[in-house]
Chain A
Amino acid sequence: MFSKSVQNRLKLFSVIGIVVLILILFIQIQLSKNIIYFYSPQEIKQINNLPKEKIRLGGVVKEKSLKKIGNYYSFVLTDRSTEITISYKGILPSLFVEGKSAVIEGLLKDKNFFIADNILAKHDENYMPPEVANALKKNIK
């Protein structure tokens, strides 16, 4: 039906098409596996289905809330309207200070309790991650 060269080209293009589709699928699968959603304490209060996967939570570490209980730290993260108690086992970064912003990664147990496995603080102390700044702005309004 087609000449030989056209047939070859058709074969080539269909192989390329299939390979590209498979690769896109790969990317899509890995992306959905590794996305970490960001919430503010306020948003946690409002959702109905608690996320089961790892999430990030951002806000301000409430003043005088940091305590050490055994091996664990406990502190309160607030966006000035809602508060969530965080439990964390590990080292607090040097830039983790009460009254300053922090982003915390971990699992949500219930609407008031969060188990953190990572605290992200790589910046200087006056810096506020844009996500936290936005969350605070929404609530103070």
Chain B
Amino acid sequence: MIGTFGHISLISALILNIYLLLSYFLSSLKKNINFRKTKHLNFLISLFIFLAFIFLLWSFATSDFSNMAVYQNSHSQKPLFYKISGSWGNHEGSMVLFILILSLFSSFFSFSRINENLKYLTIFFQNILILFFLIFLIFTSNPFDIISPTPIEGLGLNPILQDPLLSIHPPFLYVGYVGFSIIFSFALAGLYLQEFSMLWSKQASFWIIIAWTFLTIGIGLGSIWAYYELGWGGFWFWDPVENASLVPWLASTALLHSNIASMKTEKFLSWTALLAIVTFTTSLLGTFLVRSGILNSVHAFANDPDRGLYILAVIMIITFFAFLIFILKFPKDRTPNILVFWSRGSFILINNCFMIFFLVVVMVGTLYPIFLDAIFDKSISVGPNYYNALLAPFVIVLLWFMAHGPLLEWYKFNKLSLIKIIFQISFLTLLSSLIVIFYFKNISLLFILGVFSSLYLIISVLFDVFKQKVINKNLARIVSHFGFGILIFSIFINSFLSKEIDVPIKVGQTIKRDTIEIQFKNIIKSQEQNFEEIIGNFLVKDGTKSFELSPSLRKYFQPSQVTSETSIKNTILGDYYLAINLSEFDGDKIMIRFYHKPLMMWIWMSIILIILGGFIRIFKKQDAI
């Protein structure tokens, strides 16, 4: 019953959407566009899609198993929170969320204060995107399909997905992915009307930073989930699904920076426009890869090749027309083309080159296996070492440029003061890296370079803070860059100095490795509503520190599946991470995986800093940029 209302809402949204597009197109031929009508139609479309989304949530919350999507992905015994989050934890529901965000951005955009022609052409382009995805939703993956007769019980949801972090990460990720759609539409409108200028950059910056911040939050949440839930001690696995979110992040980080240059100096306009197009295209590509079932992962909802083909066709059409507009209406940089190497502008350009290189590396690693499989029917995978070997050396160089860019001026170059600063920063960095290297007692070259360059960035940011009296003006950049320095620093420490102990252990037994002592105290079995659980209680000692860890194994009934729940003690210097394994479990003996992960909390804190920088920019007054 509710489902029927949902279906009607979607169809209404589609009809209104087609009406908006037609009336806009026809009236633009007569050069007499009714802006108010377009605005109201745009709101109505959002309203109907929002209603459809609410109806879907309602069906999931009340476990209405006459709905196909609910039947396949939910279960009446599930807690309400996971029932609701389950509504976007499947292909159909996630597409509704996708379209909802598309149209919400369109509605919010109509409030921005820009010239009406530009604004409504953007909304027109945005509604073309909505059209493509609404057709896709209604005709290939209708979330309101009905099963008859109504089943009594649902098929449940993968228990590994029943996790608070995982439940909330798709909405954030989608606001990021889909947020770039409005920048894409805005860029196309700007190009088409030949209004791609400094002013465009100023107006776009707000939307870019919103989408970028949310994408960063989504990626961060996903990686925290992987760390806690997968039980292998890592937070980034170079899994194709992770890469699919990293590629738009790299593109948008490049866009974010080149847009700043366009805004300040009116340089790189065409480059900024290109990046705006590329960012959204890679977001779409990410959606396609993740959802189509080409990649094997928990994210692959749709195993229906038709759907994959449709999305692929849509991406190709959208990309083709976007590039067509770009080529035909190529914006000319209006300032004379003088590039002083030692200027902030050219350092932003260098930063962009790095981002594009990283993007190509990640894309090649992700797409090459798919390509080989499709053309030559050969299955391969690309090992994580490919990414580490290619990215690590270049990140080290990037950090150096990142440290100096903000210290330079936009146009002029003061050689003496720069040399002095480089000298001072290098001296302090050398001192602090010696302390760090001495403390961690690791002397491999890559490690030393990584520590040195990330400390170099951190110290240069501190210099930046003390040098300028007005911190408020650059607070967003300072916080984000500082966070990025700490992120790279902790990743280097973490990946070089993690320890792992895999060993079978009996109740009462104590195991010693280096400074670490693990004592297996006892084992408890418990019965919960949806699963039975085996909990191991351990006492872990490291030097003078000692604490209890209680990892467990859960055997879920619906669907039947075993998950491993990790137990983690966070300390400032590092995490103690313990997981147990089902194999060889016979009453009192069990397999354990213990990890010591140095500076894990620093990684999370630094991601929070980077995100905080984004929020500072969002909430700062527009003119202060």
Contacts and interface: CB of A to CB of B under 8 A. Distances in A.
A129 B564 contact: no
B581 interface: yes
A131 B360 contact: no
A94 B381 contact: no
B561 interface: yes
B468 interface: no
Contacts of B582: 94
Interface residues of A, number: 30
B583 A31 contact: no
Contact of A38 (B297, B298, B379, B502): B379
Nearest to A126: B559
A92 B583 CA distance: 6
B298 A37 contact: no
Interface stretch (A22-30, A78-86, A108-116): A22-30
Given A27-B364, A92-B581, A124 B559 contact: yes
Nearest to A135: B379
A33 B386 contact: yes
A90 B380 contact: no
Interface in A105-130: 122-127, 129-130
Contacts of A56: 379, 381
Interface in B157-178: 158-160
A126 B583 CA distance: 18
A117 B593 CA distance: 16
Contact of B357 (A23, A127, A129, A130): A23
A35 interface: yes
A36 interface: yes
Given A27-B361, A92-B583, A94-B581, A130 B296 contact: yes
B386 A31 contact: yes
A136 B368 CA distance: 24
B365 interface: yes
A35 B390 contact: no
A124 B381 contact: no
A95 B379 CA distance: 23
B374 to A, nearest CB: 12
Task: For chain B, give the interface size range.
Answer: 35 or more
A122 to B, nearest CB: 7
Nearest to B583: A92
B361 A131 contact: no
A126 B558 CA distance: 12
A66 to B, nearest CB: 9
Contacts of B583: 91-94, 96
B396 interface: no
Contact of B591 (A27, A36, A91, A127): A91
Nearest to B159: A124
Given A23-B357, A122-B230, A34 B502 contact: no
Interface in A60-108: 68, 90-96
B375 to A, nearest CB: 15
Contact of B386 (A30, A95, A127): A30
A131 B385 CA distance: 22
A124 B160 contact: yes
Given A23-B357, A31-B382, A90 B561 contact: no
A92 B593 CA distance: 11
Contacts of A126: 559
B383 A95 contact: no
B361 A94 contact: no
A130 to B, nearest CB: 6
A36 B560 contact: no
Contacts of B70: none
B380 A37 contact: yes
B390 A27 contact: yes
Interface in B313-354: none
Given A91-B502, A92-B583, A131 B382 contact: no
Contacts of B553: 94
Interface in A1-42: 23, 26-27, 30-31, 33-38
Q: Which of A36, A56, A124, A130 has the most CB of B within 10 A?
A: A124
Contact of A124 (B158, B357, B564): B158
Contacts of A68: 584
Interface string B542-583: 000000000001000001111110000000000000000111
Q: Which of B298, B583, B584 has the most CB of A within 10 A?
A: B583
B584 A92 contact: yes
Contacts of A93: 581, 583
A127 B559 CA distance: 12
Nearest to B337: A5
A30 B387 CA distance: 8
Given A26-B390, A92-B583, A124 B380 contact: no
A30 to B, nearest CB: 5
A36 B383 contact: yes
A27 B410 CA distance: 33
A94 B383 CA distance: 23
26 contacts: A23-B360, A27-B390, A30-B386, A30-B389, A31-B368, A34-B389, A36-B382, A37-B378, A38-B378, A38-B379, A38-B381, A68-B584, A90-B502, A91-B502, A91-B583, A91-B591, A94-B582, A94-B583, A122-B230, A123-B297, A123-B298, A124-B158, A124-B561, A127-B296, A129-B296, A130-B296
8 tightest CB-CB pairs across the interface, nearest first?
A38-B379, A92-B583, A34-B386, A94-B582, A34-B383, A131-B379, A124-B561, A94-B562
Given A94-B583, A124-B559, 12 more contacts: A26-B390, A34-B383, A35-B380, A37-B379, A91-B502, A91-B591, A94-B582, A96-B583, A123-B297, A124-B160, A129-B296, A131-B379
